[in-house]
Amino acid sequence: MDIVYIKGLKAQAVIGIYDWERTIRQQLVVDLELGTDIRSAAETEDVSNTLDYKAISDRLIEFIETSEYQLVETLAEKLATLLLAEFPVKGVRLRLGKPGAVAAAEDVGVVICRGASL
């Protein structure tokens, strides 16, 4: 299986368990590895034969920025489900980070894998 990746996709969302977090928007960062087969795209040089990472990025940003979850785990699961349902993706490895959530750490978050093994 081939991988199309998107690294460092940034979006703002209402996310968190504390009352003060429910009143602000916080930056989230997404890294994706998307399982697919790129051979047809490589042979034809036709973007319709591969994953459109611009369309995927736009869709994820729109989803994240209209979401209001408490846990990054929930948002990560929803994003993986969306990707598998709306795009021709066989598997997803998704890292969702919440930079600044822990003062002593550069970033915290989750990594999940769904669908076919990458």
- Answer yes or no: are the C-beta atoms of 107 and 29 closer than 8 Å: yes
Distance CA 66, CA 113 (A): 23
Local structure of 27: helix, strand or coil:
strand
DSSP-assigned beta bridge partners for residue 28: 11
Positions marked active-site: 98
State how far the Cα of 93 lies from the Cα of 61, in Å rounded to an integer.
17
Give which of 2, 8, 112, 118 is closest to 60, Cα–Cα: 8
